[in-house]
Amino acid sequence: MEKNMTYILDTSVVIKWYVEEKGSDIAERMLDDYKIGNLSIVEPDLLIYEFVNVLRYNKNFSKDERKRCIINLFNLDLYLVTPYIGLVESAKEIAEEKDVSVYDAIYISLADITGFEFVTADEKLYNKVKDLKYVKLLRNLK
């Protein structure tokens, strides 16, 4: 992981800040670096909805714990990008070309447009888009 970089993290990475699973150590290191200003994180606002949805279906969290996780995510003050026509059109093209969901393609499109690196822990997604130079698999980060 390079310092002073800007990353786009999909929900498969962000959820690892709250759920201990394979790759959580790397995701938590990214979060720590973000908190001390060593890296920046930019996200499509879609992240919020996906994150809440993942929490909703995770039975390991009580209602209060889910609420605390959501508040915590908002308190991180991540830079959120709202949809705009160029982003959505690009995502549609990427989704069709790479056979991925438009939801996944929004993150990839944002990386393509901004030049920031996109990081995912989703190996199925990664395998479909790994030819794109700005796409990284979480477990491959150092």
Q: How confident is the model at residue 6 (pLDDT cuts 50, 70, 90)?
A: very high
pLDDT confidence of residue 19:
92
Backbone angles phi, psi at 57, to 5 degrees: -95, 0
Give me the mean pLDDT over the 119-133 stretch.
Answer: 98
pLDDT confidence of residue 142:
76
CA 83, chain centre distance (Å): 15
Q: How confident is the model at residue 4 (pLDDT cuts 50, 70, 90)?
A: confident
Please check the confidence at residue 1 and state whether its pLDDT lies above 70. no
Does the pTM surpass 0.85? The reply is yes
Is domain 5-140 classified as CATH 3.90.1150.10? no
Read off the pLDDT of residues 98-125 as tens digits, 9 standing for 90 and up: 999 999 999 999 999 999 999 999 999 9
Q: How confident is the model at residue 2 (pLDDT cuts 50, 70, 90)?
A: low
Give me the mean pLDDT over the 69-87 stretch.
Answer: 97
Mean residue pLDDT of the chain comes to 96
Q: Evaluate whether 79 touches 43 at the Cβ level (below 8 Å).
A: yes
SS3 at position 84: coil
Q: Give the sign of the dihedral formed by CA 79, CA 112, CA 47, CA 24.
A: negative
Give me the mean pLDDT over the 24-47 stretch.
Answer: 97
Read off the pLDDT of residues 12-34 as tens digits, 9 standing for 90 and up: 999 999 999 999 999 999 999 99
* β pairing state of 117-120 and 135-137: parallel
